[in-house]
Structure 1
Amino acid sequence: MNARTTRILAVTLSLTAALAISGCSSDAEKPGMKVSQGFIPEPVNDKMAGAFMVIKNGSATADKLTGASSPLSDDLQIHETKDQKMQQVPSLDVPANGELRLERGGNHVMFMGLKSTPKVGEKVTVELRFEKAGPVKVELDVKERTYTAQNSNAH
């Protein structure tokens, strides 16, 4: 190897190391979302369905659930329940080192205008979008209409 080739190699290695280090530091600042206990009760018809789950934020950075998409519907909405009234909201907070519980009678993701009616035992793919963490894909089990996550020890 001549001196010029050695310098080019050294510069290339330095740039690669700098990019790797900067990539790691930005990833460390991004919240890490883990989804458990996700399910959709079997819908009564193709008009709407709710999705329920627990979203755990394993980082020291708070985040927000800002949206969702799925092949099952072109219209997924984030709903908040306050004073027994459901309303669409632009986002829901996911606290640092905490969790956001989407559950019956509470906050949830609502599928409007289903393209098909999923049956018990099937799975529905959903991509959750977060302000900082980016998208997270999950598979939600279709459960009996009366199912609640408390009915099961499975996560």
Structure 2
Amino acid sequence: MRRASAALTAGALAGALALTGCSGSGPGSDEAELSVSSPYMPQPVSADMAAGFLTIINKGGAADELTSVTTDVAGQVTLHSTAGGTMTEQSSFAIPAHGRLVFASGGNHLMFEKLKRRPKQGQTVTVKLRFAESGPLTVEMPVKAATYHPSTGH
């Protein structure tokens, strides 16, 4: 009797483990798993415009797309790429599976246009990132010195 009970328990456990292995969540799943690192805004030198930078990391097995950014500090936030010294507005940016989307000085960046107030060094700006597939992410973006560069820390 004990042997039959142990065999049934082992069989039930193996079945439960097999079902768990088939679930669609967790690392490597067919969903994007987005997070943000290194957000910052250099203190604007213009009264009506500012730039923003950050990195969006996707640890998931599916690509996604950044489609818009909003904040209460600006009338609008636009997405821009820079190539060969030319800045071009983009409607969205792809975020590859198991990859990252980098917004950095001299490259892709966020443009905060029609500023409602001019953020000052030491303050933070709250931005909401929206994606084609994933839910929105709210990010606190610290305002740094106008000359701040992440590699030097100032």
* Structure-1-length-normalised TM-score: 0.78
Alignment of 1:2-151 (within 5 A): 25=24, 29-151=30-152
Letter in 2 for 1:74: G
Q: Distance in 2 between matches of 1:96 and 1:30?
A: 9
Following superposition, the deviation at residue 116 of structure 1 comes to 0.3
Letter in 1 for 2:133: K
Letter in 2 for 1:121: G
Following superposition, the deviation at residue 25 of structure 1 comes to 4.1
Larger radius of gyration: 2
Structure 1 residue ranges, 4+ long, deviating more than 2 angstroms after superposition: 24-30
CA root-mean-square deviation: 1.7
**How many residue pairs end up in the alignment?**
130
Q: Distance in 2 between matches of 1:111 and 1:97?
A: 28
Gaps of 5+ in 1: 1-23
* Structure-2-length-normalised TM-score: 0.79
Letter in 1 for 2:135: G
> Which of the pair is proportionally richer in helix?
1
Q: Distance in 1 between matches of 2:61 and 2:129?
A: 20
**Is the Cα contact below 8 Å between 1:126 and 1:138 reproduced in 2?**
yes
